[in-house]
Amino acid sequence: MTALHRFSRRAALAAVVGTSFAVLIADPASAQFTGESTGSSRTPTTVQQAKQARIGRDVSLTGHVVKHLHRDHYLFRDKTGEIRVEIEPIKWRGRRVSPDMTVRLRGEVDRDFRGRYISVERMQILK
């Protein structure tokens, strides 16, 4: 095999590998899907919707933490109703929240022997 022939084969291989690699690391913006997904629909955003959602469903609720029930459980209220929420001490991050303050809670629907509740992953104070 001549030196030129070996160089051509290496160049061809490098071109194929380089092209394949470029496809794998393509710009993420060109690969974003904007249509509807089969497995999901809108995230429940009210207490009424959360009470009807399946266990494990992500929720985002805006309203007020109005009462401490026991341990890490509190009563949350929005304009559509009330639901029990579990907010672990670390989620408070040292912040004091009163019933007149508006908060956004993100978490998921869960259930125990007392019924449905929201297991809070993140709490944001809005007002």
DSSP string, 17-44: HHHHHHHHT--GGGG---S--TT--PPP
In sequence order, what are the beta bridge partners of 118? 85, 109
Q: Which residue has better confidence, 34 or 113?
A: 113
Query: Where does the chain hold its CATH 2.40.50.200 domain(s)?
Result: 47-125
Name the CATH code of domain 47-125 (choices 3.40.50.2000, 2.40.50.200, 2.60.40.1260, 3.30.160.270): 2.40.50.200
Could you report how far apart the first and last alpha carbons of the chain are, in Å? 77
- Predicted structure pTM score: 0.67
Cβ contacts of residue 22 below 8 Å, gap of 6+? none
Confidence of residue 44 (pLDDT cuts 50, 70, 90): confident
Summarize pLDDT for 79-89 with one digit per residue, the tens: 999 999 999 99
The string of pLDDT tens digits covering residues 29-39 is: 545 655 544 44
**Can you read off the two tokens belonging to residue 85?**
């929420």
